[in-house]
Structure 1
């Protein structure tokens, strides 16, 4: 399997400008106005008027960038548009129909059909389903029609109004300022009173056990089935994953982080903390690299090695600790190729910690939706591949003293497999641990967070916790005869069965 090329890494970052809702809104608005106005390019003063119009809507662009309107909050976005119509009643239907047409061309045909066909082999007829997914998608991405439509319809109407009425020379400028103040207050009040579903932040750093350099395990394997929605996993036929969780310890209420974007989730899982601390706040990473220690840094302190086999996006967080694979591959074969690459890395590097990201389930959710049979099929294929890899590791003698962890980084909501703002299906993820040191047949019902993964891995491998790790070690899963803490000595006695 090929590594992600430098071009693919750069292309992935560029694509996020169009995928993430925050940068998409201004890019699409400016691009639409430019396309609509192309016939005026030769007119005297056109460029000055164009830039003045952009300046006129700049405050609203900033408001829409600062404030997210995910889930049900997107319904409130129509109120400023209605207010505009009441105050100014100035509408350019040609411009607005052009914008709507361009939007659905981009999302349904360019993204949902052309892009997915070239990258993962989705059918040329994918548009016959993708338009329905775009209309239902609830997350703050460019593919959320119910959020993007009222945003760009208002922005373009205000821009066109500023050009036709020459607001800079009249009393309209005062009305426009008052309008923006009203939208700002409206947005602030909404978010202060209704934006209340974020998970609670763990306020202290990891302290429920004492970190030492005595390892419980020689090796920890983490299989992350990207985007595996919990209840759909329960519906799938997954005999091997069911064996692991029933003969290990399952965390029934394992919560992902906010926002539940892949790069954010992985950054939190393997640093043990949240975006405000590690600095990765979306898949669109403006400044490369996490700001805190990762579990890979912790392992280096005790001369141990970690490997993360993942897509190019995760280089933005973890840099050279990522063994990349190309995501430009048919979705029916990509997970198979990932497993083959994982075997090669294990043979060549023999890392003490190996993290493997399987992406086919997530990509199916994004391209075909999560409430269809194709999504279940990919979970079942992941089950077979994880079993194959587990059996291969045993055959090679690499599972003598180990913990095997299976989880998802986030779930997926309806629509285009949206995830980020914790709609139904996103918040709680499958999570279970298996191995000689892990309790058998145990289910932990208390709520836990994926930020506990970094400190738990460090604890199992006898490494210090990452310097900003907040998640408690998942010690409910560790067998009592193995987990013997001596608070006075700060020591740990380990054994294996």
Structure 2
């Protein structure tokens, strides 16, 4: 399997400018206005266009700051209706152009051409994707119910100011009235987010201190397999016998909560630093400044002469740099996880890392391209189950699991629509998470709420490494096996082969 090339890494960052909702909104609006007024701009008459842009800038800023997650997006039409009432202005042709361009981009360019070229989705994918875009609730550009009212208001304010400036209207009263309107939109947004946006996970206020790192490592190895985007209830519906046997013979954390926003690079960074976006600095898949601001579990391992590797897609380089073994995401989706598992075997053979994290991507990609409430999504979970069974069996044959812990989890779930994740809609918040191995309590279920920020300190505890310097998650000590007899320990060693 090829590594992600330098071009692919740069292309992934560029794509996130269009994929992430915050940068998409201004890019799309500016692009639409450029197309709509192309003749004026080419003819050298850009002054009114620029004056209109200046009038709309306060609203651009407000809509960059405020996402309007989940049901809050229903309130986005209120500022637009207020604008229509006050100024009685609407350019129907401009709004129609914007809607046409938006659905062309999301349904045909993204949902059909992009996914066909990247992962081999059918040329007919648009017949389903339009429904997914209308239902999607996540923080990407594919959230039609959030993006359309934002773009309509921005375009209307810009076009209104453009027309007025072109007619020679006095600029001071024009700008004054629009600034007052923008101030009202800001106050409206602040009130909504202050009093209605109340579903973010609680932040753990202190750093990891619930148990000291043991003087002697509990394990020689830790293997973490992250099935990207595996929704918890769809995992339960899948025929995944191997993973469910592993869960039954290990410790399951039934209320494992992801972080906000539940985007892949954000979640992975929190999982392997032990802290939250406000501290590690990765707030979306669009990473403006590369590298986590705090120590990662890989930094902690280096302090004691141990090694860790993360096998994953190009996006993760933005947070973890050289600790990532990249895989290309440009391949048929039916082959992606198979190639990743084969690459994982080579890493074990050639590098023998003390910690290996493997990101399986096919489930997430199917959710995004085909939706999570269809059979294709469950089939990808079932394929992951078979591949993990093969990989674990291969590790067992090599003796790699004699003193090892295996952790299976997802980084986030997925909501309806285009496999939405980000705002913690239904299906996103809680993820499958279980641990097994000779050091782990068998047949145990923990029902108390826990957080994925506990993964990094738990790995550090198992391998005898210091906790990352900003780790806040408590070590998952509930999973740790108490002292056992030699016979019981040997039974734990034999478990993986039996599973």
Please report the TM-score for the alignment, with normalisation by the length of structure 1.
0.96
Q: Give the superposition deviation at 1:168.
A: 4.8
How many angstroms apart in 2 are the aligned matches of 1:480 and 1:301? 27
Q: What secondary structure is seen at the aligned counterpart in 1 of 2:46? A: helix
Is this contact kept in 1: 2:55–2:175, CA < 8 A? no
Q: Give the superposition deviation at 1:58.
A: 0.3
How many angstroms apart in 2 are the aligned matches of 1:169 and 1:481? 78
The aligned residue for residue 333 of structure 2 is: 331
Q: What secondary structure is seen at the aligned counterpart in 2 of 1:451? A: helix
**RMSD of aligned C-alpha atoms?**
1.3
Match of 2:385 among 359, 383, 386: 383
How many angstroms apart in 1 are the aligned matches of 2:94 and 2:46? 18
The aligned residue for residue 487 of structure 2 is: none
Q: Give the superposition deviation at 1:396.
A: 1.4
The aligned residue for residue 69 of structure 2 is: 70
Counting only pairs closer than 5 Å after superposition, residues 272-421 of structure 1 correspond to structure 2 as 272-421=274-423
Counting only pairs closer than 5 Å after superposition, residues 132-143 of structure 1 correspond to structure 2 as 132-143=131-142
1:88-135 residue CA offsets vs partner (Å, 9 max, x unmatched): 111111111011000000000000000000000000000000000000
Shift in alpha-carbon separation, 1:216–1:168, aligned structure 2, 3 A: farther
The aligned residue for residue 113 of structure 1 is: 112
Q: Give the superposition deviation at 1:172.
A: 2.8
The aligned residue for residue 211 of structure 1 is: 213
Counting only pairs closer than 5 Å after superposition, residues 432-471 of structure 1 correspond to structure 2 as 432-471=434-473
1:143-177 residue CA offsets vs partner (Å, 9 max, x unmatched): 00000000111111111100111255363332212
How many angstroms apart in 2 are the aligned matches of 1:226 and 1:320? 21
The aligned residue for residue 490 of structure 1 is: none
The aligned residue for residue 181 of structure 1 is: 183
Q: Give the superposition deviation at 1:213.
A: 4.2
Q: What secondary structure is seen at the aligned counterpart in 2 of 1:18? A: helix
The aligned residue for residue 53 of structure 1 is: 52
The aligned residue for residue 169 of structure 1 is: 171
Q: Does 1:198 align with 2:200?
A: yes
Q: Give the superposition deviation at 1:23.
A: 0.3
Please say which of residues 212-221 and 312-321 is displaced more in the overlay.
Answer: 212-221
Q: What secondary structure is seen at the aligned counterpart in 1 of 2:266? A: helix
How many angstroms apart in 1 are the aligned matches of 2:477 and 2:176? 61
- Number of equivalences: 485
The aligned residue for residue 16 of structure 1 is: 16
Moved over 4 A (4+): none
How many angstroms apart in 1 are the aligned matches of 2:46 and 2:41? 7
How many angstroms apart in 1 are the aligned matches of 2:186 and 2:170? 21
Please say which of residues 160-169 and 278-287 is displaced more in the overlay.
Answer: 160-169
1:258-283 residue CA offsets vs partner (Å, 9 max, x unmatched): 11000000000000000111110000
Is this contact kept in 2: 1:267–1:290, CA < 8 A? yes
The aligned residue for residue 231 of structure 1 is: 233
How many angstroms apart in 1 are the aligned matches of 2:321 and 2:43? 49
How many angstroms apart in 2 are the aligned matches of 1:55 and 1:214? 63
How many angstroms apart in 2 are the aligned matches of 1:287 and 1:275? 13
1:238-270 residue CA offsets vs partner (Å, 9 max, x unmatched): 000001000000000000001100000000000
Q: What secondary structure is seen at the aligned counterpart in 2 of 1:445? A: strand
Q: What secondary structure is seen at the aligned counterpart in 2 of 1:171? A: helix
Q: Give the superposition deviation at 1:211.
A: 1.4
How many angstroms apart in 2 are the aligned matches of 1:34 and 1:13? 23
How many angstroms apart in 2 are the aligned matches of 1:129 and 1:265? 28
Unaligned runs of 5+ in 1: 483-495
Unaligned runs of 5+ in 2: 485-491, 494-499
How many angstroms apart in 1 are the aligned matches of 2:43 and 2:35? 15
Query: Which structure: greater helix fraction?
Result: 2
Is this contact kept in 2: 1:208–1:472, CA < 8 A? yes
How many angstroms apart in 2 are the aligned matches of 1:299 and 1:202? 23
Q: Give the superposition deviation at 1:76.
A: 0.4
Q: Give the superposition deviation at 1:42.
A: 4.0
Q: Does 1:43 align with 2:43?
A: yes
Is this contact kept in 2: 1:119–1:328, CA < 8 A? yes
Counting only pairs closer than 5 Å after superposition, residues 255-270 of structure 1 correspond to structure 2 as 255-270=257-272
Q: What secondary structure is seen at the aligned counterpart in 1 of 2:466? A: coil
